[in-house]
Chains A and B, each alone.
Chain A
């Protein structure tokens, strides 16, 4: 019984940590609210780095298993060392949208773990039961760049006993980040990233426009 309770608690905590996407329906459009992204702790430091951090989201609207539409959302955050605020850029399918003013890392973090993306899709012309699915990538690396890095690693780490391998024997945090990126790359995913997460909504019904 205690074991069952423990499993239940673990499941609940896992559920509590999982990202959640829900629809936001307004007028003729459908948007999405993405909450609870388990962003890596290292991002807090990266956000203060003065360099650009990028989050890519691919949000898909489905009816059953059929894809109705897809929205590509890109968020770029760069901390200005002199003005001490974030320069934030939000684009949906390449079109720039209004992004909030963010001054601190906590504000940026709070925004990222409760993203409201509105609007993303046109509402269907007929009543339908739909779902939303999102895939999120942090600081993605395109395949061509990954090829260049792989070439460099191949040339520069052949001797090391723990070399060249995605997983080194004394695998460190640094290596594990690299390895994770490499795993996505090796899995032929088209694009690798330091971190990725997926979320899907419960089915929801929309009436006709």
Chain B
């Protein structure tokens, strides 16, 4: 038999594990009088004890307590977790104490990018703040502001903000989730065929979903756009200008299916993420349907380089939109950056991506294609949270001759 060393180690270690099941203090079962929490100020004790599948009257199950400690330790809510026993009302009776030190419940994320696309220069800035332990219950309150400001060239600007409440375990069901949010934005965008659209929007939404199988999810959503204003200006070939303007409210029903098997949301080394999203929009008696989505696949080669391919939109997870400036078709790689000696940088990656986006047709009906590249660095820092800095550039290729 040709065992590799690690398997030999595993098998050898299994032998004493049988003995491990026995308690060194004998078989006297301890009975739990109560379970209690210490050190929790923002986090409710119910939330903490919800991670321990034992109740008063049960026998102490050391394996379960050890698992509960690991489960609690995996949460970002705590900087340390200890579980220990104290004497109970009588010999053989104990109090189970869960002592925690709470971590900063706020997570921060920043994205700053300089965009030199074929016809414009813009600056992108995104700030995101998430309370990961709202009211000490493990719910989330997430807010972000997004600005894509033109610096030179064709106008392509976008400003938006969103606040959302997320219950990752709706109705105490580990597979159900609920999202309720409010968002608004302003977009002023000029396309290469001379069409300029200004869109203002404010709306409220609610979605419920269920995680399926190992990595999939299904979400049903409704959004009420209480206000939408669209102004469109088009320059025609003969030099004339056409203008339209409309204001309305709308109801949007949507369904999304996706999966996420990536091993890390910010620094994935393997797995895939995908989502397909279909919406049905009702506007003053008219009905429209739209479908979009995206897919991303990541893998890592033996030298530690992670490779990625992405098609269409940057796929979101079931409860979280990811903000990323990208091309329609992307291929790239990233390399890890180690932690800094002073602890400011905890980990990071630098990355390079090449991409292509079809840009439709110009006024002469010639097909246009955008080719470009993006390079950046993503860092997990002590002071600022997650920081993503990048430069993206592209050029436009116009196919000669009409289609």
Binding site for B on A (CB under 8 A): 42, 45-46, 48-52, 54, 56, 58, 70, 72-74, 76-78, 80-82, 86-89, 91, 93-94, 135, 137, 139-143, 145, 148-149, 152-175, 177-178, 181, 188-191
Among candidates A56, A78, A88, A152, residue contacting B16 with C-beta atoms closer than 8 Å: A56
How far apart are the CA atoms of A52 and B109 in the complex, in Å? 41
Query: With contacts defined as CB atoms under 8 Å apart, how many contacts are there between chain A and chain B in the complex?
Result: 207
Contact of A173 with B79 in the complex, beta carbons under 8 Å: yes
Binding site for A on B (CB under 8 A): 6-7, 9-10, 12-20, 22-26, 30, 62-63, 65-67, 70-76, 78-87, 91, 94, 101, 103-104, 107, 109, 128, 130, 132, 140, 166, 168-169, 174-175, 177, 211, 214, 260, 263-267, 317-320, 346-347, 380-381, 385-386
Contact of B76 with A167 in the complex, beta carbons under 8 Å: no
Across-interface contacts of A166 in B (CB, < 8 A): 264
Among candidates B13, B80, B103, B386, residue contacting A58 with C-beta atoms closer than 8 Å: B13
Across-interface contacts of B266 in A (CB, < 8 A): 161-162, 165, 169
CB distance from B188 to the nearest CB of A (A): 29
Contact of A190 with B7 in the complex, beta carbons under 8 Å: yes
* Contact A159 to B168, CB < 8 A, known contacts A50-B94, A76-B20, A191-B10: yes
Contact of A161 with B80 in the complex, beta carbons under 8 Å: no
> Which single residue of chain B is at the shortest CB-CB distance from A148?
B67
Contact of A77 with B24 in the complex, beta carbons under 8 Å: yes
* Contact A173 to B25, CB < 8 A, known contacts A91-B16, A158-B317: no
> Which single residue of chain B is at the shortest CB-CB distance from A146?
B70
CB distance from A106 to the nearest CB of B (A): 18
| B interface SS class | mixed
How far apart are the CA atoms of A164 and B76 in the complex, in Å? 10
Query: 20 A-B pairs, CB-CB below 8 angstroms?
Result: A52-B23, A52-B24, A73-B16, A76-B24, A81-B85, A81-B86, A87-B24, A89-B19, A91-B16, A140-B13, A158-B319, A160-B132, A161-B320, A162-B265, A164-B265, A167-B347, A170-B104, A178-B70, A178-B74, A191-B9
CB distance from A66 to the nearest CB of B (A): 13
Among candidates A45, A58, A170, A178, residue contacting B12 with C-beta atoms closer than 8 Å: A58
Among candidates A49, A51, A72, A178, residue contacting B15 with C-beta atoms closer than 8 Å: A72
* Contact A94 to B10, CB < 8 A, known contacts A149-B71, A161-B320, A165-B265: no
Contact of B24 with A45 in the complex, beta carbons under 8 Å: no
| A interface SS class | mixed
**In the complex, which of the residues B17, B72, B73, B103 has the most CB atoms of chain A within 10 Å of its own CB atom?**
B73
**In the complex, which of the residues A54, A70, A135, A168 has the most CB atoms of chain B within 10 Å of its own CB atom?**
A168
Among candidates B74, B85, B104, residue contacting A157 with C-beta atoms closer than 8 Å: B74
Across-interface contacts of B65 in A (CB, < 8 A): 51
7 closest A-B pairs (Cβ-Cβ)? A190-B10, A87-B25, A50-B85, A172-B79, A49-B84, A89-B24, A74-B16
Among candidates A50, A143, A148, A172, residue contacting B76 with C-beta atoms closer than 8 Å: A172
Contact of A174 with B73 in the complex, beta carbons under 8 Å: yes
How far apart are the CA atoms of A5 and B26 in the complex, in Å? 53
Across-interface contacts of B83 in A (CB, < 8 A): 49, 51
Contact of B20 with A175 in the complex, beta carbons under 8 Å: no
Across-interface contacts of B82 in A (CB, < 8 A): 42, 45-46, 49
CB distance from A38 to the nearest CB of B (A): 20
How far apart are the CA atoms of A158 and B320 in the complex, in Å? 9
* Contact A72 to B12, CB < 8 A, known contacts A94-B19, A149-B67, A174-B79: yes
Across-interface contacts of B14 in A (CB, < 8 A): 142
Contact of A149 with B74 in the complex, beta carbons under 8 Å: yes
Contact of B9 with A58 in the complex, beta carbons under 8 Å: yes
> Which single residue of chain A is at the shortest CB-CB distance from B267?
A165
Contact of A159 with B140 in the complex, beta carbons under 8 Å: yes
Across-interface contacts of A188 in B (CB, < 8 A): 6
CB distance from A180 to the nearest CB of B (A): 10
